[in-house]
Structure 1
Amino acid sequence: MIAVAAGLILVGVTSPAQAAVPPLGPDFEFGVAQSGFQSEGYNRDSNWLRYGKQGRVDQSVGNAVDFYHRYVEDIDRAASLGVGIYRTSVEWSRVEPTRGHDDPAGWAFYDRVIRKVVDAGMWPMITLNHWVHPGWAVDLGGWNRPGMTGDMVAFAERVVDRYAWADPLWITFNEPTEYVRRELQYGGVAPQNLGRMADGIVAAHRAIYRHIHRVQPGAQVSSNFAYYPIAGLQPWLESIFPQRMRDTLDFVGVDHYYSFSTTDASVAYGALGEFWKSSQAPESIYYVLRHVARQFPGKPIRVIENGLATDPDGLRPDGYRRSDHLRDTVYWLQRAKQDGIDVQSYNYWSLTDNYEWGDFDSRFGLYTVDAQRDPSLARRPTDAVAAYRDITRAGGVPTGYRPTRLPVPCSLVDVPDSCAEPAVVR
């Protein structure tokens, strides 16, 4: 039966009795995402600034795409897309460059950013830790020491107290599993202290969650986790963070980029940093949402990050265009919604190209910026800008839209369900 169903999908055969896929509706929220360290430039001493200077990654961040001086125009670009959510982060090292001593200029920068987001008519989504912590915290031992949890909570509480007026959505830790993995990879945490780091992140999240709800009643708080398209791995990863946090998640935040199937294992290119060579099966977001809904029943879901990587020239070997990938992805969000999955928002990663944790080669931006070859750092719209405007205006892709790529047979994004219950185009 599985083989027959997959064959029907591949030729686009669906039952005439199946309902057409409607738009997402007026309550659904579209957004864009970025992080401070990856986009701002003019960074203060931190673990990631040191990784670049020490040669532990291929390339230093430099001044990234200079969001620090261009935040007004970039936020205006986001608003022009018609999105309602603007995700960014407050960089701990910028506001507390030495332990216990805040920098008023650092706080003033984020005051201006958050005010600009609100004045532009968008809802801030503030990330409190996007894998970066100050150099002084590194010198004290980072997550190798129990006291790191208290320092992180103290910083986060100051951010919450300062910006609760904007009623933001909150992300405590961005992809905590990846945070741990990268700290291990680059020497920030010793192997014997991995459990200490994981436990410290969970404890910090729970403390920050409680503080946010004291200061901002009715707030929505989560910690987004990366969904890996590797058979059998996801349930174990979920046991490290989201399952331990589930009673302090007001929604489940999920990031997803790459696909994996019995006929395509090109996701392995990601290990080489050539993410644009990893094939995309856009229906994988449907499997992700269905899996999350089953693992966290009753929890609303927000897609915190999703997008498409291209090479430095904006190209991909498979010819997939950013606009088509965006429309195809939104179609599958609509299919998930149609099937009763409570997905409430979607953020595109990213508004502009930025520093992708070691180099500028992988391009994810709706607006492309050539940080390596263009000193002007001009923002140039990709074909997805017009596509996103159409999507936000209509609340999705039109009824009757068909993805440019049909589902692959037996996706391994969520086994066995993705093979036993394959996605169907309607």
Structure 2
Amino acid sequence: MTRVTTDGDNVVDLVDGAELLDQVEAAICSYVVLPDDHTAAAVVLWIAATHAVPAWNTAPRLVIKAPEKRCGKSRLLDLIEALCHRPILTANASPSAVYRSIGEHPSDPPTLLIDEADTIFGPKTGDANEDLRGLLNAGHQRGRPALRWDASSRRLDRIATFAMAALAGIGNMPDTIDDRAVIVSMRRRAPDEVVQPYRTRRDGPALAGLKTDLHRWVGSHLDQLEAAAPELPVEDRAADTWEPLVAIADAAGGDWPTNARAAVLGLTTDDVDVENVSLRVRLLIDCRTAFGDAERLPSETLVARLRADAEAPWDTLGRNGLTPKALAGMLHDFGIQSARDRWEDGSQARGFRREQFEDSWHRYCPVRASSHSPVTSVTASHERESVTGEPPCDTSPVTERPIRHKSAVMGRRDTCDGKAQPTSAAVCIRCRQPLSYDDGTHTHPTCTA
């Protein structure tokens, strides 16, 4: 950091953004063990993004979860409180209190930090906190106020909801919150992993100094951040969620643009967790498995295959398990309808054809993004390159032409042509498949141009 005098009395700190983010990361990692570098980068960038709320169209949530107690969730939330902009930390907030906290300063809202979120949204609470969940969902995007009727003044009130929010708890948050969040999965510290004890009175002043520098640096880049449109390796809501963090990284420079996009790939997955999807999407997933290679199946056969899976809910669904009638009803809203057909044994019965499911399988339950289309290039420096004249990645007839694979390992760019030796953690930044080598050859499917 250097200091220069601009107009006599005003002194301005010229801070290197990458160096400042490095300092924030080092401070956090001295008090808590994070699972990996992707998590560390995401947490630092999320903290920095809280200082630039006026620049964002979306306010990404940060979900800090763990399978058990003593995994560092609350300690990480303490450090976020010390470094983020205008924090409000609570373990039990009513929706009205949160509305009022945001509404008092809608142009400069606080950062909501909710600890023990599993006691608010856990299975034992039922629908008791749906108002708070609705607030957190609406507040993810700018311009989504809550509407309330004030009976005493007989007028309609528009209450601001847009604000950054972090939630920490055991287990999963509601899926509508997870869908709008950067998700950090903590784990218990191993005996050989050593951190410093955090004491607010002793350690707080140093973190307060970092916070001041961070706020000043981010504030000096608000115009740049507001106009930023970073290219991302994800789409749709995931892109909305990660855009502010990657914009911060691009403004900071250094290794942060690469690290940020690696974190996007490392912490975002297109795999479908069948335990955390709606029942009807679970049905689509299981129908795909039940069909196997078949082009058509009678309803009775499809139901029998679904109910044969002991880990699926279909044999115990309702009073008598899944029936052909219930199956038809659950698939109806997807535009999938059974029809009477003649089968190989000469019988006539209602059934389904694979082609009826294809569109819904593609839209609601993809396995990997790479199975549909290549991931968009993430930066100008990561543009597609031909390796004509070099050993191809795959000689399969379906390959149009091989391309260089960009490794998502932080600070590295490896290729699938055998010239680099990435670690086992490397993934292709385009097709998102592992980059692993055996005697200099790749062992994963190639990207195609």
* TM-score calculated relative to the size of structure 2: 0.25
* TM-score calculated relative to the size of structure 1: 0.25
Higher RCO structure, 1 or 2 (CA under 8 Å, sep 6+): 1
